[in-house]
Structures are given as C-alpha cells and as structure tokens.
C-alpha cells in the first residue's frame, strides 16, 4: 500500500501515527507473545476483518498478513507488529 503522491511528509507522518495508534490499540489485550499468523489474527478484536483507517488509507488485518514472514514471529508487542506492517506497506 502506498500513500497518494499528494500527501506531504507531515501528512504522511500523521497518517502513520494514527494507523500505528489504531493497530497498537486493537492489540492492547493480546496475549503476547504471538507465535503464528493465526494467533496474530485471533488477537485482533474482529479477527481478519479488523480495519484501521486514516487519511484515505484502510488496512485490514487479514490483508496485513501478506506483509509478514515466518521470521517475524514471535510477535512480542503491538508496537513491534505496527512497525513491521507500516514499514512494509510504505506508510
């Protein structure tokens, strides 16, 4: 996922910060460490259908799995997974 070209660097940071906050908030009660993609999806409040949106960008937990590798596990915190997803999505 790429932020539209019309987005300024400051807007991009704000969008990233908002998405980061939503991802970490959604995983606030997750039973870390999460050892598999299935455990990660199950930790989101609505599972694979959990969505986070900001600045016209919508991320769905089920789609974020395509950005992860087996080497990313175990996931030890919401901060860790939020950073991985947003970095790999180019946000």
Give pLDDT tens digits for 14-55.
Answer: 999 999 999 999 999 999 999 999 999 999 999 999 999 998
Give pLDDT tens digits for 50-78.
Answer: 999 998 999 999 998 889 999 999 999 99
Cβ(37)–Cβ(68) below 8 Å: yes
- Whole-model pTM: value is 0.86
Q: What HEC string does 50-82 produce?
A: CEEEECCEEEEHHHHHHHCCHHHCCECCHHHHH
Cβ(6)–Cβ(42) below 8 Å: no
All structural domains of the chain? 9-88 (1.10.238.80)
């Amino acid at each position: 996922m790429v932020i539209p070209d019309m987005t300024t660097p400051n807007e991009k940071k704000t969008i990233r910060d908002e998405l980061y906050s939503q991802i970490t908030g959604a995983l606030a009660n997750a039973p870390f460490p999460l050892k598999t993609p299935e455990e990660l999806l199950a930790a989101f409040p609505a599972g694979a259908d959990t969505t986070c949106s900001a600045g016209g960008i919508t991320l769905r937990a089920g789609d974020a799995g395509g950005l992860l590798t087996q080497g990313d596990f175990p996931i030890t915190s919401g901060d860790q997974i939020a950073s991985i997803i947003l970095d790999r999505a180019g946000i």
